[in-house]
Amino acid sequence: MSGSKTAIGVIAGVVLIAAIGGGALLYAKQDGVGKVSASAPEARSDLARFAVGPLAALNTPADTPLAPDYVFKTREGADARFGDFRGRVVVVNLWAMWCAPCRKEMPTLQALAQTYEGRPVVVLPINVDVGDEAVAKATAFIDEHAPLTLYNDPKFQLPFEFPGKGKMPQTILLDRQGRVRATFAGDTDWNSPAAHALIDALVAEPG
């Protein structure tokens, strides 16, 4: 009988040690290699103060690279690059006819272009539809939103060249030096007071 009690005591001791060891290992993992740490928030520029209201989802990274040296097409089929618009604030809007939110926000971009007419601001809608028939429909649509004009990316690559990585619609704001200063994925009101404040701040910066 005493032997049985001894055996039971040994087993209980082993189980207790294992439990304590397992708990210690768990906490070690929490504090060491196995710990799931929260990723550090991305650094944002001072333009983050404009991420309010309809622009609450505005991305304003501290890193401001030049816009890619990517060739897209004018309405007439000539080559165009973002560098062609240097010296002006550029509101790049990547859109397609198959994207309902893209079409929904286009009147606000039209109104924005009208609001800033005569100032160093360009609203640059770049269509990413592929194929003659699709581009023809896009041309007819953009003609209803003068003074906007058609630009096209026949390779459907530009949405993947910017931080949105393919999201549509995608709007990118370039400063007068051609640097990417803010991006926005999804549709919004680009003729809102919040949008005006953001663009006015970029216009006020040295060229």
Residue that wins the pLDDT comparison between 161 and 7: 161
**CA-CA distance, 103 to 154, in Å (whole number)?**
19
Burial status of residue 31 (CB atoms within 10 A of its CB: 0-12, 13-18, 19 or more): exposed
Which band of pLDDT confidence, cut at 50, 70 and 90, is reported for residue 207?
A: low
- Written as one string, the DSSP assignment of 45-87 is -GGGGG--GGGTT-B-BS--PBPP---EEETTS-EE-GGGGTT
Question: Does the pLDDT of residue 189 top 60, yes or no?
Answer: yes
Which band of pLDDT confidence, cut at 50, 70 and 90, is reported for residue 77?
A: very high
State pLDDT tens for residues 88-143: 999 999 999 999 999 999 999 999 999 999 999 999 999 999 999 999 999 999 99
Supply the pLDDT for residue 8: 42
Picking from 3-17, 37-51, 72-86, 149-163, which range would have the lowest pLDDT averaged per residue?
Answer: 3-17
Q: Work out the percent of the chain whose per-residue pLDDT is above 90.
A: 75
Which band of pLDDT confidence, cut at 50, 70 and 90, is reported for residue 181?
A: very high
**CA-CA distance, 101 to 95, in Å (whole number)?**
9
CATH homologous superfamily of 46-204: Glutaredoxin (3.40.30.10)
Supply the pLDDT for residue 124: 98
Average per-residue pLDDT for the chain: 85
